[in-house]
Amino acid sequence: MANFVTNRIRLIGNESIKQLAVEINKRFTEDCKKNGYQTDTSSVGRILYGYEGDKAYLSDEMDAKWAHLDGPMDDWEPLRLISGWRALTQIQDHILWYAAKLDPKVIVYMEYEDEMPNFVGARYVLLDDSEIQSFESEIETRNYAVVSEDEVDEYIEKNNETNEYEEVISWQDLSDLLYKQQLIAYKEMCNEYKWAKDDEI
């Protein structure tokens, strides 16, 4: 069985982009209420690509084994998609291509984390002269023990004896690591494109 990867995708741009984000969430939420949240791995292909039948399962459009909505969602939330094994970078790029028709300076941000967790990462993409520019930072956490806050000291003490883990951290520490990846990717993007901005940073 494939590891679950949670992908949160957020669009940054003008008013048309804000409306697009609302519409995407609305279509996914309506679809998942009709077809089921966890069982329909064709919804991404149908809603974002306009595919039908077997083609909607997106076997050629992404590295992940499958993808489905993690919903339902409110209008204001990032689009949450669950994928098998890998982050949905190709789908992030696909959203960018079509969103750029409404706003050439749109930025699409995605953060992702493996359920184990084996990795966490953040990626910004934008278009420059019809070419996708990607800014990504990822950290491997495969050898970390991630535990609740009240278990950290106990696990650190055990790990000092066994050296089983590279590091012992809390789930909040993991969230902080993810945010750090976002800051690294954001800084790289802004160094390259002075106009780029993410008001949620």
Residue 34 lies in a domain: yes
**Which tokens is 161 given?**
């004896």
Question: Which run of H or E residues covers position 162?
Answer: helix 152-162
Report yes or no on 176 lying in a domain. yes
Structure tokens given for 16: 């048309």
109 assigned to some structural domain: yes
pLDDT at 81 (0 to 100): 94
Which residue is listed with tokens 């595919």? 51
Question: In 3D, which of 89, 108, 94 has the Cα closest to residue 5?
Answer: 89
With 70 as the cut, is the pLDDT of residue 183 above it? yes
pLDDT of 37 reads: 59
Which residue type sits at 25? Answer: N
Question: Which pLDDT band, with edges at 50, 70 and 90, does 57 fall under?
Answer: confident
Between residues 58 and 123, which one has the greater pLDDT? 123
Percent of the chain with pLDDT over 70: 98
For residue 81, being part of any structural domain is answered with: yes
Q: In which domain, by residue range, is 63 found? A: 4-192
Query: Is residue 129 in a domain?
Result: yes
Structure tokens of 139? Answer: 């950290």
Q: Would you say residue 197 lies in a domain?
A: no
| Domain presence at residue 145 | yes
Q: Report the predicted TM-score, pTM, of the whole model to 2 decimal places.
A: 0.93
Q: Which residues neighbour 142 within 8 Å (Cβ) at sequence distance 6 or greater?
A: 116, 118, 119
Instruction: Give the tens place of pLDDT for each residue, 72-123.
Output: 778 889 999 999 999 999 999 999 999 999 999 999 999 999 999 999 999 9
Domain assignment present for residue 201? The answer is: no
Instruction: Tell me if 95 sits within 8 A of 108, measured CB to CB.
Output: yes
> Residue 179 pLDDT more than 80?
yes
Looking at residue 36, what is its pLDDT? 64
CB atoms within 10 A of CB 135: 22
- Structurally, how many domains does the chain consist of? 1
